[in-house]
Amino acid sequence: MSIFKDSTILITGGTGSWGQELTAQLLRDHNPKEIRIFSRNELKQVEMKHSFNDPRLKFIIGDVRDIKRLSISMRGCDFVFHMAALKHVPVCEENPDEAVKTNVLGTQNVIEAAINNDVKKVVDVSTDKAVDPLNLYGVTKACGEKLVIAANKETDKTVFVCVRGGNVMGSNGSVIPLFRRQLETTNVLTITDKRMTRFIFSLSDAIRLVLKSTVDSVGGEVFVMKMPSSTIMDLAEVIKEELGNEDTKIEFIGIRPGEKLDEVLVSRYEAMDRVVDAGDFFIILPFLDLPETLEHYKDKPRVKMEEFNSRNTKILDKHELKDLLKKNGFLDPIFDYKEVFSNLTKEQLERITKNDKWVI
């Protein structure tokens, strides 16, 4: 039986790409009693309410910076998924204090509110950008991970765990919607550096793994999703071949500050002696002294690897990439851009893609 059956769940950032898919899978497969969607923008909540039309959903306007609101909202909760974040690299670079307030202080507020309410389990969703971070977004998410893992020392009642994933296809602000929009407007696909690789995964698979890690975790682990990757060049070429025309161009605009050639999901240091292979995941055991967790994994062999990155994982070839894109609807002639690009004019789009304003 599902651990979520008849449970009460709160999702911070529940109106975002990940939050909506999580909500859909929980409602479809796990029969929870109630899911509380916690976020700031009322329009996104109203739209989500209409599209889901499910009485088990409750919508709460709130900001993770507001611990009082979080504490009230978590009353009677069994599980909390923490997905609220400022996640656009350039936005975080340009508004560092805001990024710290939401991603770091907000995460600490989630922890304290969960402890105050004896929540059973808190799952923090983190990113490859948090590993050896080069930009402030990554730094804030790395701080979030540290706070969440350390919270296991503060209470016996609440279990805290992190799950780290790389890019999912088509999430708000990601490169596939950008390419599709560029095809319709400038007919030029912009690439910063042709050597670049990125993890690539479907949102539904990522959420399936978030739920699996929630079930499997005992507290203090970082679950790392094993994801394949692709070169950004292959991605652009597949999109050009499938959806472009003879005039479609690929333009190189140069690597930008805060951007890596390859993304890393398990760092060299983490990989040294504390990683367990668990099928769909690598599990990074805590650096902190959490005896019950270490006891739980004591018989599991440690993995020997240098690091896990988007170059040494499986790199999809163009056929596999095309199949994956097709299967997930990204090559359909009509495409829903979600809110990020839908209202941009041609001029705004050019500004974003040419003036160092976009990092995937």
User: Among all residues, which ones are annotated catalytic?
Assistant: 129
Cα distance between residue 203 and residue 281, in whole Å: 16
3-state secondary structure 295-344: HHCCCCCECCCCCEECCCCCECCHHHHHHHHHHCCCCCCCCCCHHHHHCC
| Rg, the chain, Cα only | 20
Is 71 an interacting residue with respect to ligand NAP (CB under 6 A)?
A: no
Which of 63, 193, 205, 237 is close enough to bind ligand NAP by CB under 6 A?
A: 63
Tokens of 240: 């050009």
Residue 258 amino acid letter: G
Among 33, 22, 56, 11, CA closest to 165: 22
Q: What angle do CA 212, 264, 276 make, to 5 degrees?
A: 45
Shortest approach of ligand NAP to residue 144 CB, angstroms? Answer: 8
Is 35 an interacting residue with respect to ligand NAP (CB under 6 A)?
A: no
Residue window 298-337: x/- pattern of binding to ligand NAP, with contact defined by CB under 6 A: ----------------------------------------
**Residue tagged 């902190």 (tokens):** 288
Question: Would you say 283 or 290 has its CB closer to ligand NAP?
Answer: 283
Is 258 an interacting residue with respect to ligand NAP (CB under 6 A)?
A: no
Shortest approach of ligand NAP to residue 166 CB, angstroms? Answer: 6
Pairing between β-strand 222-225 and β-strand 281-284 as defined by DSSP bridges: antiparallel
Which of 165, 219, 244, 258 is close enough to bind ligand NAP by CB under 6 A?
A: 165
Burial status of residue 252 (CB atoms within 10 A of its CB: 0-12, 13-18, 19 or more): exposed
| Binding segment (CB under 6 A) for ligand NAP, from list 16-24, 211-219, 310-318, 341-349 | 16-24
Q: What angle do CA 24, 45, 92 make, to 5 degrees?
A: 95
Is 180 an interacting residue with respect to ligand NAP (CB under 6 A)?
A: no
Is 135 an interacting residue with respect to ligand NAP (CB under 6 A)?
A: no
Shortest approach of ligand NAP to residue 5 CB, angstroms? Answer: 25
Is 172 an interacting residue with respect to ligand NAP (CB under 6 A)?
A: yes
Shortest approach of ligand NAP to residue 73 CB, angstroms? Answer: 10
**Residue tagged 């529940």 (tokens):** 14
Question: Which residue is closest to ligand NAP by CB?
Answer: 16
| Binding segment (CB under 6 A) for ligand NAP, from list 13-21, 245-253, 267-275, 299-307 | 13-21
Cα distance between residue 305 and residue 225, in whole Å: 16
| Binding segment (CB under 6 A) for ligand NAP, from list 84-92, 262-270, 298-306, 318-326 | 84-92
**Residue tagged 């805001």 (tokens):** 98
Which of 8, 23, 109, 127 is close enough to bind ligand NAP by CB under 6 A?
A: 127
Write out the residues near ligand NAP by the rule CB under 6 A.
12-13, 15-19, 39-41, 44, 63-65, 83-87, 102, 106, 125, 127, 141, 165, 167-168, 171-172, 174
